[in-house]
Amino acid sequence: MESFKTEQMRRRKVCVVVSILLVCVMSSFCFAQKDSLHKKQFKNVVRYNISGAMLFGADRYIVLGYERVTWRNQSISINGGLATLPKLISINTNLFRIEKDQKNTGYNVSVDYRFYPLKDNKHPAPRGIYFGPYFSHNAFHRENRWQFINSANTSYVETKADFKINTFGFEVGYQFIFWKRVTLDLVMVGPGWGYYNYKVSLDGNLDLTSRSDLMDGLEQLITQRYPGANFIFAEKHLSADGVMKTTGLGYRYLIHLGFNF
């Protein structure tokens, strides 16, 4: 009987020791798992360009982006989507009045390579301050109908216009990450060098005076509808074949809202 009680006590002690060991092992596993989750680096970001939508209109500027961390402190970012010029406004010349938008399309594509300096950031990329080169391409196409103001009979002239912008530059920005997943990306400084090409064509037989007057209206159309174009094309005019080109300083300022995964 005594030996039976001794055996029971021994078994109880073994069970207690095993239970303690299991608790220790499980606790260690949980802490290790929690620590690994805390240190896990999410290397991808998908985002939406808020600043472009605010500038051109949410229904006219829908540009999405994707950023991928390539090294611990570097990433590549690609963006693209629909981008059209703002809505039509009233433009009158001596002989013509713009009558309607028949077509208004466009797109934006850009890429940048980012460096997140380790000495300036407590967290790994894509969080914190960054800098790097960028390239941006914009293409806009617009078709309009113009009405003769002083014509006895209602008559129209149709125009087509293409506006292309290629910009190379250098940017500095900061990407915030809230609640481990929500990102707010701010490109705060983005000077660059831009190549601007505006080309128009007329559908109709016009005399020299009418053609010159309509060219003036087409210049107004781009300088009043594209932000900064009045500065870009200052003292520039459409040539006889309907082309207006220039190069000059460009600037990039962006706000992106995204998701980190």
| Residues 214 and 135 grouped into a single domain | yes
Residue 39 reports pLDDT greater than 80: no
| Residues 172 and 133 grouped into a single domain | yes
Average pLDDT (100-124) is 94
| Residues 21 and 85 grouped into a single domain | no
The domain tally of the chain equals 2
| Residues 10 and 130 grouped into a single domain | no
Measured in residues, the chain has a length of 261
| Lowest model confidence (mean pLDDT) among 1-5, 40-44, 150-154, 183-187 | 1-5
Domain residues for the domain of 159 are 43-260
Considering only CA atoms, which of 167, 190, 182 is closest in space to residue 253?
190
Per-residue pLDDT of 226-258, as tens digits, reads 888 888 998 899 998 999 999 999 889 999 999
Q: Full-prediction pTM beyond 0.85?
A: no
| Residues 235 and 138 grouped into a single domain | yes
| Residues 21 and 4 grouped into a single domain | yes
| Structural contact between residues 230 and 244, judged by C-beta atoms closer than 8 angstroms | no
| Residues 33 and 54 grouped into a single domain | no
| Residues 31 and 96 grouped into a single domain | no
| Residues 15 and 82 grouped into a single domain | no
| Residues 16 and 70 grouped into a single domain | no
Give the best-scoring range by mean pLDDT among 25-34, 193-202, 203-212: 193-202
| Residues 48 and 30 grouped into a single domain | no
